[in-house]
Amino acid sequence: MMLAPLVEVIRGGRLESLHYGAVAVVNARGDLLYHAGDPDFLTFTRSTIKPFQALPFLRAGGHEKFGFDSRELALMCASHSGEAMHTQTVEGMLRKVGCDEHHLRCGCHVPMHFTVQDKAPPAGATFNQLHNNCSGKHAGFLAYCVQNGHPLDNYVEPAHPLQQAVRDSIAEVAGMSPSDMAMGIDGCSAPNYGLPLSRLAHTYARLAQGDQDPHYGSLMGELFRAMTLHPELVSGTGRSDLAFMQTVPGDWVAKIGAEAVQVIGIRSAGIGIAVKIADGSTRGLFPATISVLQQIGILPSAEATPLAPWARPQLHNFRGLHTGEVRATFTLTKDKF
């Protein structure tokens, strides 16, 4: 397992902590262009594969059958913050397919917008599965089951026809055999898959090409447009994916996953970028990802962009005193293919 030191945490001008990880940058053909560490590091994809978990539904024409608009497609790809704009949209999706919150199998957690704001929920506040960051994806899962007459109660089980179709779609987009993908269970109870980091980057290079994808064509285009038209629904107020997609609107499609995995597709450059921080800390993920964009010439400077606060975070203590910073220190290796 070859991991590279990617990000340093500095205190008093000296190294205090170090985040290791790996980076892969590939083109739409899957050729490796740049890397740091092991570009084929096995990485559980977590929420980064949500667009491809939606593909069976779109492929069967479900979005047309139920009248899902671009906002609802964006929620199918989202790790949302549980704000009203998210929960109300998901509730509408469920209503369109004849389901409601109790049909969901994603579980309930405190809405992410409280974490982002570093605030505790109001006293006596109650939440339900609509607030789960994956509820939009699960609403899409239920829609597929209703469309195809599949059972609703066990739709997250790996052997369910829905999850078999999802597995096959992910494998096809990644250019792999389904049997070669490691499987685990995600935080929302659905199956999740481990891919070589370069294969994960390739999926987003394909997503960014949208209508030009040789296999999924207009379906990839629908998902790309939905995500880039509504980045606030894909993530939420003050979130990193919103900042990435607002930096170059309509060109960058971005998705974070739990345990510090970030993937970005750049339409104009025809590339996909995947970054994994091995210890699962997002503290190192954002400076590393922004450094990749800078090193390959996509982002000359993060200053005066929505990414400025994420590029080199400054650390302060509880009295507001400056104590250090988080900074990317690696150099990408350019590959010949």
pLDDT of residue 215: 86
Q: Which domains does the chain have, with CATH numbers?
A: 4-334 (3.40.710)
- Which residue in 124, 87, 119 sits closest to 106, CA to CA? 87
Q: How far apart are CA 66 and CA 54, in angstroms?
A: 14
The token duo for 264 is: 């970005």
Q: Which amino acid is at 193?
A: Y
Query: What pLDDT does residue 201 have?
Result: 98
Residue 118, pLDDT score: 83
Q: Which residues are bridge partners to 43 per DSSP? A: 195
pLDDT the model gives residue 214: 83
Decide: helix, strand or coil at residue 170.
helix
pTM given for the model: 0.96
Percentage with pLDDT > 90 across the chain: 94
pLDDT, position 1 = 59
Residues of the chain where predicted confidence (pLDDT) is lower than 70: 1, 337
Segment (H or E) for 301: none
**Closest residue by Cα to residue 234 from 78, 39, 24, 112:** 78
DSSP result, 118-159: T-PPPTT----GGGSTTHHHHHHHHHHHHHHT--STTTTSTT
Angle, helices 197-209/161-174, rounded to nearest 10 degrees: 90
pLDDT in tens, 177-207: 999 999 999 999 999 999 999 999 999 999 9
